[in-house]
Structure formats: structure tokens, C-alpha cells
Amino acid sequence: MNRRYSIFLMRNAGRVIWHLALNERKKSILHLRQAFGKTHSQKEVVALSKAVFDNLSICLADAVRLPNLVREGLDNYVDVKGLHHLTDEVAKGRGVMIQTGHYGNWELLGTWLVQKGIPLRVLAKRTYDPRLDRMIVGYRNSAGYYSTARGNASGAILKGLKKGYVYGMLFDVDTKVKGVFVDFFGKPAHTAVIPAMLAAEYDVPVVPVFIRLNADLTYTITCHKAIKLKKSDDPGSDALANTQSFTLVYEAVIREDPKQWIWMHARWKKQPTGVA
């Protein structure tokens, strides 16, 4: 099955799912309203929700066919901006953290980076189904990058960083890890704090890298300058400030093209005590 036909099928499936998956549709509209309700009408919010499902369906079609895209040459589909921001840090050999998110086609992003010689590892949450988890991890291994499950992964990450590995981290969602509350679209959002703690304590550069699906069905990868970390005599305060800095980066990226993000995720479900 060629790419165009695969996308055609998945895009139509995504539109059907938007109508049938009532709970996920409601959550996406609710969360988009919470983020953009002051600037977007209800009609515009609903249209954005549909676009989210549409965009995700296209990315899924390409993710399923990634081995085919690799054989055809990923550079036929991917443009990149600011790659030197990442490669310059990798060349120093001290290890790098890539800050990315559930934005665009993050699986294709990992494969493209490996194709360019980036010694990539990913820190990821285990899925609810062990069989699905084995399939995803197996694909990543075959693509040339390896997945470390969240949990007690700090030791493995430190060893990898010392070897000059690059760790891709998607910490734009609320998971069951040690976290702090930072501002995300004007509301407190529980966010993983370990990346900020490791980066500051071990002087690891954090480079934001995001991939966006374009209207012509190509992709654009954008690498940003390493985030300037706050480092003082108060590690706790630094961790909070740096986690907020990370969050502001991916919030700005999401604002540029909201349909690229997974708005069905309950990003604000967990709240600090006393906050409605």
C-alpha cells in the first residue's frame, strides 16, 4: 500500500473515530477550550478538535509505514532547521537531553535522528498492554534507538550520558513520576521534575527538538538552542524554575500549531491541594 492511500484510509478512519469516540472527543474539546477559550469561539475550538484527530491519523499512518519510508529515504519527506544546535552539543561528548513532546510524528523524529548518526535513547512510559509495549520497543530497537522505561531509570540515564548518549524525553504529559506543578496555558500542570534535576546537577545540555506535519504531508524538524539552566545553592528552587522553563518552550511550540498536540490527554487532571 502506497503512502497516499495509507494516509487516505487513516485520515477517514480518524474522522469516523472523532464522531464515535465520544469520551476522547469531549476531552479534546474541553482541554482546547481551557487553553484557547479566551481567543477562540466554540466553533473554532470544535474545528481544532477535528484537526487534532486528523493530524494524529496521518502521523499514525506514517508511523506504521516507517520501515517503508526509511527504505524510500526519509529526507524525501523531512526538512530540518537548526540541526547544528543539537549536533554541536552532541559533538562535545558529554551527553545531551532532547526535550520533545507528543507533537507531530514523534516516532518518525526518533528514526530520523538515528539515521543522521545521533546516538539516541528514549525515556518512555510503558503502555497498558505488555504486547503493545513489546511491539513498540521492538520497533525502536530495530530502528536503531533504545527505550528505557520510566521509573527507576535515573541510574541507566546517568551511565548513558557519560558515554555520550542522547536521551529523548517526552515530558509534556502528566505521568506517575516525581513532579512539580508549573504553569501550562495558565493552569497548574503536574510535570516530571527529574530531567531538570539531572540536567542541572550534571551540567547536561537540554536541546528542544520538535517535528511538525506540514499541509503538503511533509515534515519539518526544528532544533532550538539549548535551554539556559538556572543553577544556584537551592536545587529545589532550580528544579522548579527549570521545569517551568522547559514547559514554556513546548507551550510556545504547541501555540504555533495546536492541532499537532494530543489534546485528548488530561494534562490538568492532577491539581495542587486547594486549587479547583
pLDDT in tens, 258-267: 999 999 999 9
Identify the pLDDT of residue 153.
66
Average pLDDT over residues 75-88: 97
At 167-189, the pLDDT tens digits run 998 889 988 888 999 999 999 99
d(CA 235, CA 202) in angstroms, rounded, equals 12
Identify the pLDDT of residue 91.
94
Helix (H, G, I), strand (E, B) or coil at 275: coil
Asked whether the predicted pLDDT for residue 150 surpasses 60, the reply is no
Give me 56's grid cell: 494524529
Of 247 and 147, more confident: 247
Contact 206, 247 (CB under 8 A): no
Asked whether the predicted pLDDT for residue 276 surpasses 80, the reply is no
Asked whether the predicted pLDDT for residue 50 surpasses 80, the reply is yes
Asked whether the predicted pLDDT for residue 94 surpasses 90, the reply is no
Of 129 and 210, more confident: 210
Asked whether the predicted pLDDT for residue 66 surpasses 80, the reply is yes
Identify the pLDDT of residue 33.
97
Give me 170's grid cell: 517526552
Q: How many CB atoms lie within 10 A of CB 103?
A: 24
* Amino acid letter, 112: W
The continuous run of DSSP H or E covering 225 comes out as none
Torsion of CA 175, 180, 181, 183, to 10 degrees: -100
- For CA atoms 181, 184, 189, 192, give the dihedral sign: negative
Give me 162's grid cell: 557519560
Asked whether the predicted pLDDT for residue 144 surpasses 90, the reply is no
Per the DSSP assignment, residues forming a β-bridge with 97 are 167, 206
Determine the Cα angle at 148 with ends 143 and 153, to 5°. 160
Query: What is the side-by-side order of every strand in the sheet holding 146-149?
Result: 78-81, 219-223, 206-213, 96-100, 166-170, 120-124, 146-149
The cell 532550580 sits on which residue? 238
Identify the pLDDT of residue 138.
62
Average pLDDT over residues 53-69: 93
Calculate the alpha carbon distances from 240 to 193, 194, 206, 213, 243 in Å: 7, 10, 15, 31, 5
Give me 258's grid cell: 495546536
At 152-166, the pLDDT tens digits run 567 778 888 888 899
Asked whether the predicted pLDDT for residue 102 surpasses 90, the reply is yes
Of 270 and 137, more confident: 270
Of 206 and 158, more confident: 206
Identify the pLDDT of residue 228.
94
Asked whether the predicted pLDDT for residue 145 surpasses 90, the reply is no
Q: Could you give the residue ranges of the DSSP H alpha helices within the chain?
A: 3-20, 22-36, 42-64, 66-72, 83-90, 106-115, 130-143, 154-162, 194-201, 235-256
Identify the pLDDT of residue 151.
55
Q: What mean pLDDT value characterizes the chain?
A: 89
Asked whether the predicted pLDDT for residue 128 surpasses 80, the reply is no
